[in-house]
Structures are given as structure tokens and as C-alpha cells.
Structure 1
Amino acid sequence: MALFGLLLTLATPALTFLLFLLITTFLGYCLYIKYIHLKYDHMPGPPRDNFLLGHSPSFLRIMKNGENVHDKFLEWAERYGPVYRINILHYAAVFVSCPEATKEVLMSPKYPKDKFVYKRLFYLFGQRFLGNGLVTAQDHEQWYKQRRIMDPAFSSVYLRGLMGTFNERAEKLMDKLSDVAENKTEANMLHLVNSVTLDVITKVAFGVDLDLLKNSSPFPKAIETCLTGMIYYIRDTFFEFNPKNRAFVNEAREACRLLRTTGAQWIHERRTAIQNGDEVPKDILTQIIKSASQEDKMTEEDEEFMLDNFVTFFIAGQETTANQLAFCVMELGRHPDILEKVKKEVDDVIGMKREISYDDLGKLVYLSQVLKETLRIYPTAPGTSREIAEDMVIDGIRIPGGFTGVFSSYVCGRLDKFFKDPLTFDPDRFHPDAPKPYYCYYPFALGPRSCLGKNFAQMEAKVVMAKLLQRFDFTLVPGQTFDILDAGTLRPKSGVVCTLSHRDHKE
């Protein structure tokens, strides 16, 4: 205090006023944090690590140790119940695993996506990232306008027309896996399916042929860097200000710029084709341009808006499907009985034919169950959140308005009260005659803001898995971990390394 007094004595009046203003502002902020604590501390929840930072030091320790923060959310749900609170700075988040409240909030358009998370997806370390795209738009009218325009690119009629591309790209993966089998080498399945799903989305959404199984590309690394940066940007308020992180922050900004520059180029080429009267597909890229053409006059912000949706679909259209496929291979490799059962279904439905039809997909009932069970244990997009302005009562607990509601499919999918022996991989949970999970299974979210590409993703996953099961036997290489890497989306930490052999169909 003596030193502080000396500084005030020596300081100029302007500096004294500035110091006074800073101290007063900081004290006012601390009082506001205290007010938020008092407002929500009647709720159950873990002790805070820190008055100012709340629970964020716990998350940072988990990330530093390479662990999965969603396991901590699950542990807290088991300890504190279906409604518990956490604090980060002046924000209060309420984690909800109560099906009735999940239904009420996620099925309604009146609860916008929350500012804390989704505003931090607008920019990534100061570089525009997802902006106001379909996933991040908070204003309902703005979102609804985009969704209405995008819907035709995901209609069942259009999706049927994509079967040729799904088959063609999956065949390229089969050729690659055939080389692996013949050379008796090991295959990193996550890496390979990532290449295929990125190939599919660039081809069917943007009309661009990357052929990543043969050609190198900066895009997979750029997507991974953006997602990793996104996690740090959301969970560590001071990450970008640490000099040790400067190189990674610059790398993440550059990755963002690459995706947006690529988008600008592909949009320009497609626009030119439209203006020249060339025939163009009714794909996502055309719909993005169509959404912008509804404006009377294109502004610079409208141009950025198009790029927001380009980056959104570029990332969302491949990352989560690839991770689901890799987790599916991992679980089938661990459960030979389930693997044999799903192989038999594929043999019965597909036989030896190379071209899988849309009607074939509907007959692959057990494969659908396997893919759904994969997403129950490993929801690659593990949760969503909403801003709740009004007071609510959830599970008998009164919650004052002004909080963020967090809904985790990862937590619900692993709670014993919803799924018996939740860590046991059991596709029969999703048998057509089994009771449907009641608002505790939502890997694609729920309600109006549910994933637009859900059917696209599951068609693609079915085609790839059916061809893999039709052609190859695979075995997990011993010694690898089955841990989850929390990297924005959830992915298998090991990459799912397999040895493969051609199936003998003579039996």
C-alpha cells in the first residue's frame, strides 16, 4: 500500500485519474462477479478454483494433461445431479441433463445460441472465422432466412442424386485400402476417412475435385488448426496474450485466412459461371450465392457473410462424419460378434455389387443401429448451448434468468439413468422395436437449430462403412489407446490403426 501511495504521489494528475479509473473499474467488475455468484450459488455445483476465473483453471489443467473435459462434465453430472452450475469470469453456465428441460429449450426457437461460445466463434484470435453463418447466427430471423435458402441443397431428392458421388469417393478409399492390405502395412483409419469426407464435401458442396487420397493439400491441417484454436479461444481467455502461444495463434489466423481466401475464389468462379449462363449444380455453393443475391445491393459485409457459410460447411461437412467413421471402426474392431453381425447384413443387402443404391441404405437397418450407437458414446459434436433470459425451474430448482444453458449429448449418452451399462457398445439399444430415447440422445442437436446436414452425413457414413465391411476384414493394431481427443470435435486419440485383409467371399 505504501508503494501504491508513493506512485500516486509521483504521478501526474492525468495518470492518477487513469489509475483511479482502472482500480474503480476492476473493483466494480469484482462486485459484479460477486453478484453473479450470489445469484446462482443456491444451485449445486463444484467449488470454484478461483474467484475471478471460476472453474476455467480446471478446464485448462485437463487440456494441458491431454484429457477430455467432457468426462469432467459427466463426473459433475453424476455427483451434483441433472442441474448444476459452473462459473467463468462473470458468466454463469447451467449444465442440464433433464430431458423435460432439454425438450423445452432445444425444441423452441425463442432461446438463441449463447453469446459466450458463439460470439467467440465469430472471430478466431481476431481473424473472422465462422462469423454469422448457419451454425453461429444468434438472431432467429437472420438464421431462419439462411436455413430456408439452404434447405433445397439438403432435400431428399437432391441427396438421392449424390449417391453416385458417395459411391465414387468411397471406391477411391477402397482402392487405397486394397493397397494397404496387399502390402501388409498399417492404416490410420482416421486419416484416411478424413481424406474421403473432405473429398466428398468439396465435390458435392462446392464442385471442386481435390482427390486427397492421391494429392497433398493444406486444407486438412488448416481445419485441424482452426478447431484446436477454437477450443483454446473459448476455454482460455488469456491464451492469445501469452507470448509462448504466439506462433500457434499466428498459425490459426493463417489457417482461417486460407479457408476464407479459398472460399472467395470458389465463390467468384461459381458466380462467373452463373452470370455466363453456364449450367451449375444446385449445391451448397449455389445456395450460398443465392442467399446473397436476395440482397438489393451487395455490401462488403454480405460478401463476408457468404464466406461465413462457406467455412461453416467446409468444416462441419467433413470433420464430424470422419470422426464418427473412425470411432465406428474402433468399436467394431473391439466387438467381433457385432462386426460379424453387421457384415452378414451387408452381405445380404449389398452382396458383391459395387454401386450401393439409395434404397439399399434403408435396408441396412443394423448398420444404422451401429452408427447411432457410435454417436451415443462418441457424439463427435458433443453438445450445444442456449442463452436463457427468463427465470426457469428445472428439476425443482429455481434458476434466475440471464444464464447459459449447456446441453451435452456426451453426458446424457453416458449416464446410467438413461442407458443401462452406458459404456457397453450395444447397437440393439436402437433396434426399431426398442423404446426411443426421450430427449437424452441428440448428437445432431434438436429442434429448429438441429444439424441441417444430418441426413447427408449419415448417408455418406453408411456408404463408406458398407463398402469397407463388404470388402475387408480389419484388426486393430495392439497397444493403441482407445482414449478420446478433445479437439473442438471429439476424435479417437490413436487414429484407429488397423491391419486389413481382403475378405474371402467363397464361404
Structure 2
Amino acid sequence: MSLLSFLFTLTTHALCLLLLVSFFAFLGYCAYVKYVHLKYDHIPGPPRESFLLGHSSVLLRTMKNDGLLLDVFLKWAEHYGTVYKVNMMHHVLVFVMSPETVKEVLMSSKYPKDIFVHKRLFSLFGERFLGNGLITARNHEQWYKQRRIIDPAFSSLYLRSLTGTFNERAEKLMTKLADVADRKSEARMLDLVNRVTLDVIIKVAFGMDLELLEDNSSPFPKAIETCLQGLVYNLRYVFFQFFPKNWAFVAEVRAACKLLRSTGADWIHNRKMAVHGGGDVPKDILTQIIKSAGKEESMTQEDEEFMLDNFVTFFIAGQETTANQLAFCIMELARHPDILQKAQKEVDDVIGMKREISYDDLGKLVYLSQVLKETLRLYPTAPGASRELVNDLVVADVHVPAGATCIFSSYISSRMEKFFKDPLVFDPDRFHPDAPKPYYCYYPFSLGPRSCLGKNFAQMEAKVVMAKLLQRFEFALTPGQSLEIRDLGTLRPKGGVVCAVTNRKQPGQ
């Protein structure tokens, strides 16, 4: 036999062996998928379109048509009840709206974040993103150490001291809007509140002045937008990065991650040098964290990396969610003149013509608090949480086996007739002090030990911005724009909330 014939025979045998191994591997995978079906098929849910793909094709079609996946999940919840399953190949997601189970799982520290979402948030296309920071850490002890270090930076005493910065940055937005009103041009409110909230978090957390309302050249707003877009693709299209047509965008996402993390590394290093050198340092969140970390018995290199993870978390979550809440709030007030007038009257009564809003003033803006809470009911900017079950649960008489990934969504439960009358109606009186409190079906900041650390910070900031806006301006949505929701991991108004803005006559004028 010639060498060529021998090589041909060897190659043929190798290919046959490879095909045989692949065939049996495929059969083994199919058997595993069947096992998963048998384990979870007693749980209600929509019929699968495919044995292997499950409901993936429905979700992919929705995304391809620019639809909102949350509305698909809401439709299924209304049809199948407060617990149902969704199959995606060998993965099973169990959606839970039962308030009792929401309370049991989210209020406990024993249920870790699920591994699939953790991996997709840890890095974007191989570039470390949120890592093992406060949002993503699965190990409780690891998370608790970080929370212990960061907690003092969000104490009520420190938050009180921030009202001056909130006022100062909000005034810059009012100056910008006054110019828009004078020129009789349109204001893209989502973009403007994005810039002012990013200015705030960079100032109060890291002591930096970027003046983003005036500077359109800063790379940070674009980097955040790119990371969030990459996050959606990384979560929902598992093989996205392997298609050549996507490589340019993948490179953009990786570069955006690198920019945020390298900026964070520089800022943290410089501040540490200043703190340890005994020099004058800003009394901001970063300084507080560095000092708290110095009190720990041990700080490893891994802990230092966690600090950088939390820098990126603050940079994005500390700005993005508040900005989106403000934009949705402006959109809904513009659609409901009666609610707008009521909110303006309260601001007139409490604030009058003052330019400096105090911490005590914020506590008196009760109706504005109701408006902001109702905004988060319809538009929870972080729409859900996921947990891995460590033991079997019975949810609404349905047995859910341990190991399942449970999805809890404030967006879904807040829009269900079961929990809220006329759920799609914007009605701030749902949150009147005398109204019954929603029972574990409204949790826009999550619940329990893993609830959002910055929720009080965010609501103080939102109140200051909205109070000044209501005090000084009338605003109306420009006709023809989309009022739909865009999902980038956080929810934002798809149309950007484009408004015509006019100066408001002050009381007594």
C-alpha cells in the first residue's frame, strides 16, 4: 500500500470514528434533554416548538422583530399562572410570581445567583466586565465582605451630605433646559438625564468633574451604551461572538470594557496614593471604601479586583437606572396633565421658588414619591432577578425541583391584574400612604440582603431633579415618537422622550 493510500485510509477511518463519536454524543445530549423534560414537564408552561430548542425560537423571533421579551413572559404568566417553565435546549427557567415564594427566596441569603447569568455578566466576550462585584458575586461570604466594606459609604448621614451635589448638578440641567426653552428647540430628555446622572455618580463616587452636559466628546456615555448592548447579545445569543459579521461589534464591546476598567484602575490607584499619603482627599464614596477596606484584617489581590468590579458596577448601575426612571417619569407626566399639575402644586407648596432643595424638603414631597414609585411599578429599570434553587420548593401547589433557575420579575408581577387593578393605568395613588402596601409583587430594587445598595441614593437624586424640573418648566411630548420600551438589560424609553420645553410661570406671577 502506498503512503498516499495509507493516509487516505487513515483519514477515512478517523472521519468515520469522529462521526460515530459525534452521533453518540448527540444521542447522549438528546437523552439528557429528555431527562430534563421529564424532570420539569409537570410544571405548567407554553408548549415547546422544538424538542431541542424548546421555546428559543419564540424568543428569537420576538427579539428579531424588536419586540420586548418581558411582554411575552407577561402574556405567559397571565395564561399559565404564577409559576411556569420555559425551555431553552437543556436549560429550564422557572418563572415565579407567587408573593410567598418571592419572599422566601429573595429575602434569604441561601439562594445564590444562577451560574448562567453570572458567567454572562462576569465578562463580555472574554473581557472582564462586572466580575464578582456586588451585583454578580455568587459566594455569600465573598459578597458579604464587599458589602461590609461599601455599606458605610451609603449611610444616611453621608446621603444627607449629598443634597448639595444633587442640587448643583441638577441646576446645570435646568440651565441647559432654559436654553432649550429660549431657543424653542426640542429636548431629548433621556440623553440629558443620562448625562446629568452620570455627572452625579462620577462626582459623588469618584470626586471627578466631567461636565457631561456641556462636553459631547467624553467617551464614557458611548462606552456605557456599548457595554449594555453587548450585555444583551452576550446573555441572549450564546454564539454571537463566533459569527464573523459580529466581530467588529465584539471588538467595540471589549474596548469599552477595557476603557471603563482601565479608568477605574487609574482613579482607584491615584486615590489610594492620596489617602495613604495623608493628603487632602474628597470625602466621597471611593475614599470611604478605601478607608473601610483598610480596616479589614486581610485584603487580597482578589479583593482589589473586586473593588474594580464595583467601580464598573457603580459607573453603570449608579447612573443608568436612575436616568431611565427619570425619563419614564417625564414621559408619563407629559401623558397625564392632571397628575403633572398635582405634582407641580406639591412642589410649589413645599419648595416655592427656592433654588436649593434641602434633605428635609425631600421628605415632604409625598406625592412626588408616589409618582416615582408608580413609574418604577410600570417601568422597573432593572426588571428582574434570578436565583438557583438549593432545595425543592412548592410554589402555588407546584413542585419545583432543586437545581432549577428561578426568575423573579417585578415587571411581570406589577403588570398582572392579579396583583394590581387596571395594571397598565398610571396611578400614583396606588402608593398613597394610606393605601394597602403591595405584598412581594413590587420590588424594583430587588429584595432582601441582595437588594440594591444605592436605592435611597437613587431616589434622592431622582426627587431633586424632578422637583426642579416641575418647579421651573412645562414639558410636552413631541408627536409621533415611540412610547415603547427598549431592553438593554435595563429598561429605557425607546423614543428617547423628546419634549418641547417652555419656562413655567412661577406662583404669584
The answer, yes or no, to whether TM exceeds 0.5 is: yes
Conservation of the 8 A alpha-carbon contact between 1:56 and 1:236:
no
Partner residue, 1:3: none
C-alpha distance in 1, partners of 2:9/2:43? 46
C-alpha distance in 2, partners of 1:408/1:42? 22
C-alpha distance in 1, partners of 2:267/2:500? 38
String of CA shifts for 1:358-391, please: whole Å, max 9, x gaps: 0000000000000000000000100001000211
Conservation of the 8 A alpha-carbon contact between 1:472 and 1:503:
yes
Conservation of the 8 A alpha-carbon contact between 2:62 and 2:68:
yes
What code does the residue aligned with 2:505 have?
D
2:335 counterpart of 1:334 = yes
What code does the residue aligned with 2:396 have?
D
Partner residue, 2:235: 234
| 1:487-502 equivalent positions in 2, closer than 5 A | 487-502=488-503
Conservation of the 8 A alpha-carbon contact between 2:120 and 2:235:
yes
What code does the residue aligned with 1:248 have?
F
| 1:78-477 equivalent positions in 2, closer than 5 A | 78-216=78-216, 217-290=218-291, 293=294, 294=296, 296=298, 298-299=300-301, 301-477=302-478
Conservation of the 8 A alpha-carbon contact between 1:292 and 1:298:
no
C-alpha distance in 2, partners of 1:365/1:32? 55
Q: Which segment drifts farther, 289-298 or 279-288? A: 289-298
C-alpha distance in 2, partners of 1:129/1:397? 37
Conservation of the 8 A alpha-carbon contact between 2:194 and 2:320:
yes
CA positional deviation for 1:332: 0.3
Partner residue, 1:25: 25
Conservation of the 8 A alpha-carbon contact between 2:388 and 2:406:
yes
What code does the residue aligned with 2:158 have?
Y
SS at match of 2:52: coil
CA positional deviation for 1:37: 1.1
Q: Which segment drifts farther, 108-117 or 455-464? A: 108-117
C-alpha distance in 1, partners of 2:279/2:351? 37
Instruction: Give RMSD over aligned pairs.
Output: 1.7
String of CA shifts for 1:208-262, please: whole Å, max 9, x gaps: 1111001121111111111111111111111111222111111111111110011
C-alpha distance in 1, partners of 2:165/2:138? 34
Conservation of the 8 A alpha-carbon contact between 1:135 and 1:312:
yes
Conservation of the 8 A alpha-carbon contact between 2:385 and 2:446:
yes
Conservation of the 8 A alpha-carbon contact between 2:293 and 2:299:
no
Partner residue, 2:4: none
C-alpha distance in 1, partners of 2:397/2:283? 49
Conservation of the 8 A alpha-carbon contact between 1:153 and 1:282:
no
C-alpha distance in 1, partners of 2:341/2:254? 46
TM-score (norm 1): 0.95
TM-score (norm 2): 0.95
CA positional deviation for 1:59: 1.9
Q: Which segment drifts farther, 27-36 or 12-21? A: 12-21
Where structure 1 has 5 or more consecutive residues not aligned to the other structure, the ranges are 1-6
C-alpha distance in 2, partners of 1:159/1:191? 25
SS at match of 1:262: helix
C-alpha distance in 1, partners of 2:106/2:345? 38
CA positional deviation for 1:282: 4.6
- 1:288–1:322: structure 2 CA closer, same or farther, 3 Å change rule? same
What code does the residue aligned with 2:334 have?
G
CA positional deviation for 1:280: 2.7
String of CA shifts for 1:389-443, please: whole Å, max 9, x gaps: 2111100111111101100000011001111001110000000000000000000
Conservation of the 8 A alpha-carbon contact between 2:413 and 2:442:
yes
What code does the residue aligned with 1:331 have?
E
String of CA shifts for 1:303-348, please: whole Å, max 9, x gaps: 3222111101110000000000000000000000000000000000
CA positional deviation for 1:19: 4.4
CA positional deviation for 1:30: 2.2
Partner residue, 2:3: none
C-alpha distance in 2, partners of 1:393/1:496? 43
Partner residue, 2:69: 69
C-alpha distance in 2, partners of 1:429/1:44? 31
Conservation of the 8 A alpha-carbon contact between 1:292 and 1:306:
no
Conservation of the 8 A alpha-carbon contact between 1:471 and 1:503:
yes
SS at match of 1:386: strand
C-alpha distance in 2, partners of 1:248/1:499? 34
CA positional deviation for 1:9: 6.3
Conservation of the 8 A alpha-carbon contact between 2:153 and 2:289:
no
C-alpha distance in 1, partners of 2:214/2:438? 42
Conservation of the 8 A alpha-carbon contact between 2:473 and 2:504:
yes
Conservation of the 8 A alpha-carbon contact between 1:289 and 1:306:
no
CA positional deviation for 1:56: 2.3
C-alpha distance in 1, partners of 2:405/2:220? 33
| 1:6-25 equivalent positions in 2, closer than 5 A | 11=11, 17-25=17-25
Conservation of the 8 A alpha-carbon contact between 1:288 and 1:310:
no
What code does the residue aligned with 1:199 have?
D
SS at match of 2:474: strand
C-alpha distance in 2, partners of 1:285/1:75? 43
Conservation of the 8 A alpha-carbon contact between 1:185 and 1:499:
yes
SS at match of 1:389: coil
What code does the residue aligned with 1:166 have?
F
SS at match of 1:117: helix
SS at match of 2:39: helix
SS at match of 1:473: strand
- 1:8–1:419: structure 2 CA closer, same or farther, 3 Å change rule? farther
SS at match of 1:317: helix
C-alpha distance in 2, partners of 1:235/1:288? 34
CA positional deviation for 1:43: 1.1
C-alpha distance in 1, partners of 2:297/2:11? 55
Conservation of the 8 A alpha-carbon contact between 2:196 and 2:212:
yes
C-alpha distance in 1, partners of 2:292/2:138? 17
CA positional deviation for 1:52: 2.7
SS at match of 2:165: helix
C-alpha distance in 2, partners of 1:283/1:34? 54
String of CA shifts for 1:65-95, please: whole Å, max 9, x gaps: 1111100010000111110001123221100
C-alpha distance in 2, partners of 1:390/1:298? 33
C-alpha distance in 1, partners of 2:473/2:82? 43
- 1:238–1:471: structure 2 CA closer, same or farther, 3 Å change rule? same
What code does the residue aligned with 2:238 have?
T
What code does the residue aligned with 1:384 have?
A
What code does the residue aligned with 2:149 have?
I
Where structure 2 has 5 or more consecutive residues not aligned to the other structure, the ranges are 1-6
Q: Which segment drifts farther, 7-16 or 206-215? A: 7-16
